[in-house]
Structures are given as structure tokens and as C-alpha cells.
Structure 1
Amino acid sequence: MPWFDRDVQFNHYGPDRLPFGCTGASGLVQRFVELSGDDAGRAFDVLDASGGYGSACLGAGPEVIATAMADAVRTAGYVTDEIASAERALLLERLFAPGGLFADRFPAADYRVSGRNSGSEGMELALRLVLESRFDHRRLRAVPGAEERDVVLGFEGAWHGWSGGLLPLMNRRHYRIGLPSVDPERFGFRTEHIPFGDPDAAREWFASNGGRVLAVVVEPIQGDAGILTPPEGYLRELAALAKESGALLVADEVLTFAKTGRFFAMTDERGAIPTDVTVIGKSLGMGAVSTSMVIARRELGVRPTGTVSTSDLRPLTCAVIRAGLEHIVAEGLLERSATVGGRLGELLRDRLVADFPDLYREARGTGLIHGVELTDHAAANLGELRSTMIRNGVYVEFMSGAGRRSHGLRYLNATMRVAPPLVSTVDDVEAIAARLTDGSHAVRKTTS
């Protein structure tokens, strides 16, 4: 095979492109081949512990999705949201009508939904809803009392996408320098960042800035920062602080949707944590389509045509989402993932962090989304670490880490994300942990 894509596809990953190709997949098993070196041409199987960058929640080749796509291509049509769609109606009724999967959290009387092509586009629309909440759409002037609300509260280490409008939400200079920014101006905004999961920092910030804050944008579990899970009660208190200050709360659940043992991570022992806008994606497309949903309070909106999208819940996309969600519910995959994920967390702590203190510093996570933070030594050899893991039969991703944080919190290194599909079993995560252990032994030999 010539692997012509290596010659013509844009290289998004810099000089250390992974020297592997994929020839097919089934379930959690990816069939890889070495592309260079003495072993060029060697074929081997790899267990996917990434879930397709967090999007393939049913693994590769699920029959239920293949059937839904084939049927929808033949019969569902391709109308945009300008025309009502029977397939779209079936999906939204299943989710938001009384008794629907999301109805207790997002009743149709209070919320409405828009579809987008990706999580980043969904977050762009969420930000647009926030910004346009401040002014009269017809006269294009500030709503009385909103003139001074020009601050969006974000979090150190956050990742919401790298499209232009979202850059101000990230505090890491590497991602922002040399690219467009949004400066304070009439109807502009500025972003301030505080450390995630620190209730004292949140209280302090709102005490000083509550009158100017327009919105709070938060991941319930920070992904790129290193799978950071907040302390119990933190998200609910954050929601209360936002509400008391008159700010909107935007939850970025693009990564966490369906990965924490429940559909939504904005949940605690008291139940759903209220939000004004919630964006879900990745797993929503079942690994077959790229899509997202923006679920927003009905009073939020934008000027006419401001939310038009080429792919706002097209019938094919709706058929895939509905079939996948029905399968997840029928098979009890969320409930099972909580148990399987609990075992995965134990294995990562006991077999990686405890046995390889030279490579790993801490394991964090819940459900089927976990992170293993690297030591300085391992982070300096990240490219070698990832390639070695693949050659030992397991595919994992690496997150940037939150880096330097304020309020005296420690530096957070790059983190290995271990987030296999929902269809994973206890035997699967045992096998993943065994291969991560083998890879760690190999890395220790080559980097010591």
C-alpha cells in the first residue's frame, strides 16, 4: 500500500508523526502496520484505548449504526432545518419530550436545541448566544443593565476548540500567540481565568467581579488539562455563584458526554446541575459522523440567520444519533461503563502509577474517561512513550496538561488519556492495562 495520504495530507502533528498505518478495525481492535524502519510492513493488532479521540463510543463497525446509516441514506432525505424532518422529529421527541432521555434536565418548555458539525462549532454558537444576550437584536444596542457585562470567566488549562472565536477562552500562550483576539469594546468581551476545581478562587473572583461577568464557560471534567475532576460540590457552587451574579453558565460537555457513567457530567449526588447552555458532541456521533448539539434556554437567541448551519441536525445525522442512543440505553452501557471504569481506575493506579513512579505521577478520572499524568522524565520523552505503547498493542492519546496555575497550585504535566469505548468490558480494560504495563517496561528500558 503506498500510503499516499502521508504525501498529500496536511501534517497537524509536527515533525514527530506516528510511523503507523491502519488497515481496518473491529470493535476495540485496530489493525496497524509499521510504515518505516527495520520492521516496515509488520502488521499487528492494537487495542483502542482512546475511543477514536473520544468519539467512537461504540467502537469500530457497530452493526446498529451501519444499519441506521444505510436506511437513512435510502429513505430519510437530506433537508436542512428550514424544512421539518420526520427523522429529526423522532430524535428530538425521544430526547426532549416528556419522558425523553434528556427531558428531566432539559424540558422542551424551557430549552431548545441546534445542531452543528463539531464540538468547536457548537462552542462557537454557545459563545454567540452568550454575547448576543446583552443587546436588543432589532436595534442592535445594549439591553438596559447589560452595558457593563463584558467579562467571560474561563479556567486555566481549558480547551474548548481552536477555532477563531474560541481562542480567548484559552489561557495558554502557545495556542493564542499570533492569532486573532477579541479586545474589550462595545459588545466585545475579555476573558479572565482562574484555576479549575478551587472553590476559594471562585468565591474570591466572584466577590470582586460579579457585577461585570457575562458568562462562565466550564468543562465539568477538564480534558486537555489532564482529566481534572473537581471536588464534590464544586460545580454546583459554581452554578450558584454564576446565577447569583446574573451570569450565564455554559457547560462544555463535548468530551464528557456519555463517558462518566451517565449522559451528563454536570451532575452530583443531588442530581442535575442547572445550566443555561450545554454543548455535547464527540460520542454523540457514535464514531460515524462528526456532530454536536447546543442545548440552550429558550430566551437565548441570536439575530435572524445568525445560527444557520449547513448541517443543523440533518436527517442522516439524526438517524445515527437516535440509533446509537437507543442501543446505549437498551444495552445498559452507561451503567456498565461506571463499573468497568471503576476497575480501569484501579488498574491505572495499581499497575502504572504505583509500579512506575519514574514515569507516572497520578491517575485521575471517572467512568470511562481517565488520565495518567506523566513525570518530568516521561513528558520529556512523550514521542517515544506513545510509539512504544502502540508497538506494545495499545493506542492512547496525550493531553497537554494545565501547565502553570495560579493560587499556588502545582504545575500539571502532559497526561496520558485512557478513554476506551463504552462497549469495553472488564476483560478489555484488564488487557489494556496489561499492554500499558508492557509498554511502560519497554519505555523504562529505552529512556533510562
Structure 2
Amino acid sequence: MASSDLHKRRTGAVARGVSSVINSYVDRASGGTLTDVDGNEWIDFASGIAVTSVGNSAPRVVAAVREQVERFTHTCFMVAPYELYVSVCETLNALTPGEVEKRSMLVSSGAEAVENAVKIARHATGRTAVVVFDHAYHGRTNLTMALTAKNMPYKHRFGPFAGEVYRVPMSYPLRDGGLSGADAAARALELVASQIGATNVAAVLVEPIQGEGGFVVPAPGFLPALSAWARDAGAVFIADEIQTGFCRTGDWFASSHEGVVPDLMTLAKGIAGGLPLGAVTGRADIMDAVHPGGLGGTYGGNPLACAAALASIETMRELDLVTSARRIDLTLGGRLRDLAAADPRIAEVRGRGAMQAIEITQPGTLTPDPVTTGAVSAECHRRGLLTLTCGTYGNVLRFLPPLVIDDSTLERGLDVLAASLDAVGAP
């Protein structure tokens, strides 16, 4: 088989630390399906980890990249600038929450966006402390590993990590014993006051819905309370919307569900239809605090990625993918809740839009069950459904279908999930 041959080549060429969810090698992809080099089809509930929201080869994106690659592929914006970079920044400034004057900078990845947001916040405030949360994931660079909570596989034996990073409890409704969002925020901020000191905090960095940490949706009121505290304390409130942004949760950005207007936002993943692009967008007074030359990078805002981003955002508008995410929510969330009602291993269904998950525990308890979770995911793969696990305890199955997936493919994927849960063992 072609995939087996490729896997043998991979073993001799690719570093062992770079892993993959499946050992089949993709030949082509479209809409909600992937086809491997042996002709096997997979229903895609991963979207390259929330990247291919507009599909794997959206016509506008393909045309825009093809046109741009014939013009030029690179000049480095810091050397010889070009309009596409400016246009993407203008688009992000207008699209992100808040009516304040904004500025943007472009980078090549989500981790790079987070790094720069922290740099900007520290420079603008003259402070050093960064507040992050339990279960958070912000990237794999040295600084973003420090910001990330989970040890294995992200942090194990890669230290020492960057300093002045302080972790406090997240609002995790399933495991908080009914704690309200406001009370969960007060719990976290009390630790900030006593262990860090408000006047030392440069930034509060939080995912509006946690990604790798388990698709944890904080209780209502948690994010507004953090934002208000940061404003009063003179700290920068940074929303990491790398996984939640660009229509994924049924709004353009997850912060908008509670009317939160972040000071800075980090963006990537769904921004450019699969091409590598990230951004920091936020208040002009904060973004412009950094001296000329203090921000940048050789590939940041590459013209091909910028062309793809503009075409991707046009596609989101043209196809109304905000509404599509809400449509997916009705089907996906409804089927997941039906499964949970019949299966005591599913402790909770959570998420918004086309970003949903089930947390699997030992029946009748909150004891995580990563073994069953892994087995269900593997069974899904065997039956042709690509799923991802996540969560601090490895016991969450997450679902991120492309926003252009059709109802029939979505339902077929959910049928496979149901059959896989049954196959792993009756509750």
C-alpha cells in the first residue's frame, strides 16, 4: 500500500518527535472529506486543527494564491512592503470586536502571534508579569510553552522556560462544583492580587474557549470579569482566538458571545484557508507603543498567505459561515447530547458552533478515562472518521468539522462516532 511505503520513508527521514494522528497519507481533500494515497476516504472532523474552515481548496483562495504566486512570492514586508499586508491589517482592524482605533501586525503562526502580543503588552505597560490559566494552550516555543499548562507532550524536558508567567485557576464548569463565572474570576484574581500584585501585571492572557485544554467553555461572566479587572488594573487583556476565531464558534470571534472587547487578540489557524499566517490585532495606543523595528519577522505576512487570507475572509462572508457554524451546532450538538443521554461515560457535551467536544469519564464519576477516549478515537479512525483528542487528562474528544461541510457528510460522521462508541464497549 502507498501509505505503508510512505510511512517507511517517513521513519527514515522525519524526526521521531513529529507525530501524526493517523498513518494514512493524504492525496487530496475537499469540503468535509480527505482521500489518502490508497483511495480511502476520511470524513474530516479535524479541519487541520480548525484551519480549513472554508475547505481545503476553496475556489477564491486557490485563485488568489495562483494570481499572487505569478506576481511575486516574497520581498519581506520589512524590506520592501506591499499592499496585501496593509489590506489584511485593515480587514482585521475592521472585523475584530470594538469600535476603537486599531492596528495589526502579521506573523507566520499562532505561537508567534502570542509571543508578540506578550512583547507588546510588556512594552506598553512597562510591566513583566503575565497571568495565564490552568488547562491553557498557547504554543510550542519557549515562551509559549511557559504559557501552556500541559506537560506531556508539549513541555516535557524542554525547560527551563521563560519567567514571569503565573498560572491561576480557569472556570471549568464541569469540575467547579457549580461555581459561577463571576466567582471563578474572583477566585483567580484573588491569587493575582496576593501572589503577583495588580501593579506588576502586564497582561491577562486567556482563550475564550480553551482548545487543547479540552474545549472548556468558561461559565458566563468569567471573561467579562477578567476584562474589567485588567482595565482597572492597567493590564492588557489578551484574547487568544487562534482556534476560536473566524466564524468557528458561530460568531466571527468567540469573545463576542459575551460582548467582550479585548485589548489585543491573537489570530491564526482559520485566517488564511490553510496557508501559514498569524496576527496580533488590538488597540492602536497599545500596538503603537513599540518602537519602529521592534516588531517583525522575515516571513510575517507573506504575500501568498495575505492573498489567501483576504480570499478566505471574502469566502466566509459570501457563504455566511457564521450561520453555517450555527447550523452545524444544531446537528452536532444535538446528536452529541443524544449520545450523552444514553451513555454514562460521557460526562459533558460542550462547545459552541462547529467547536464541540465530549468529556469521557468513568461512569457516574468525574474520574477521567483517557483509555476509553483513545480507543473511541482509534475506532473512529478505523471506520473512516478523523477525530482528535485533547484535554489536560487526555479524556476529551473534540470535533472541528470544516464550516463548509454538508449536512449529509456531517450526519455520516456522527453515525460513525455513535458506532465507535458502541464498538468500544457498552456502558
What amino acid maps onto 1:66 in structure 2?
V
| Bigger Rg, structure 1 or 2 | 1
The correspondence for 1:425, drawn from 393, 399, 406, is: 406
Where structure 1 has 5 or more consecutive residues not aligned to the other structure, the ranges are 34-40, 136-148, 404-412
* Aligned residue among 158, 166, 173 for 1:191: 166
Report SS of the residue matched to 1:249.
strand
SS at match of 1:341: helix
Residue 253 (structure 2) aligned to one of 264, 274, 296: 264
Q: Secondary structure at the match of 2:220?
A: coil
Alignment of 1:26-425 (within 5 A): 26-32=30-36, 43-75=39-71, 78-82=74-78, 83-96=80-93, 100-102=94-96, 105=98, 107=100, 110-135=101-126, 149-174=127-152, 175-181=154-160, 189-196=164-171, 198-208=184-194, 209-258=197-246, 259-269=248-258, 271=259, 273-287=260-274, 289-300=275-286, 301-351=289-339, 353-358=340-345, 360-376=346-362, 378-399=369-390, 401-403=391-393, 414-425=395-406
Structure 1: distance between partners of 2:159 and 2:283: 29
CA RMSD, 1 decimal: 2.5
- The alpha-carbon deviation at position 415 of structure 1 amounts to 0.7
Partner amino acid, structure 2, of 1:332: D
Taking the aligned partners of 2:325 and 2:406, their CA distance within structure 1 comes to 8
1:258-316 deviation line (CA, Å, top 9, x unaligned): 211111111135x3x122211011001212x1111111333334455332211221222
Output the amino acid matched with 2:157. G
SS of residue paired to 1:348: helix
Q: Determine the structure 2 residue equivalent to 1:144.
A: none
Counterparts of 1:116 and 1:394, CA distance in 2: 32
* Separation in 2, partners of 1:183, 1:261: 35
Over residues 381-426 of structure 1, what are the superposed CA-to-partner deviations in whole Å (9 max), with x where a residue is unaligned?
4443322111212101111x234xxxxxxxxx52111010111233
1:8 aligned partner, one-letter code: A
- Could you say if the C-alpha distance between residues 94 and 53 of structure 1 is closer, same or farther in structure 2, counting changes exceeding 3 Å? closer
Match of 1:21 in 2: 25
Determine if contact 1:206/1:245 at 8 Å carries over to the other structure: no
Q: What is the CA distance between 1:194 and its match in structure 2?
A: 2.0
Q: C-alpha displacement at 1:206, in angstroms?
A: 4.7
Larger helix proportion, structure 1 or 2?
2
SS in structure 2 at match of 1:7: helix
Structure 1 position 331, deviation (Å): 1.2
Partner of residue 424, structure 2: 443
In the other structure, the counterpart of 1:36 is: none
Whole-angstrom distance in 2 between the partners of 1:25 and 1:173: 33
Structure 2: 5+ residue stretches without partners: 172-180, 363-367
> Share of identical aligned residues, percent?
25
How many equivalent residue pairs?
399
Tell me if the contact between 1:257 and 1:263 (Cα under 8 Å) persists in the aligned partners: yes
1:177, distance to aligned residue in structure 2 (A)? 4.9
Contact 1:251–1:275 under 8 Å retained in 2: yes
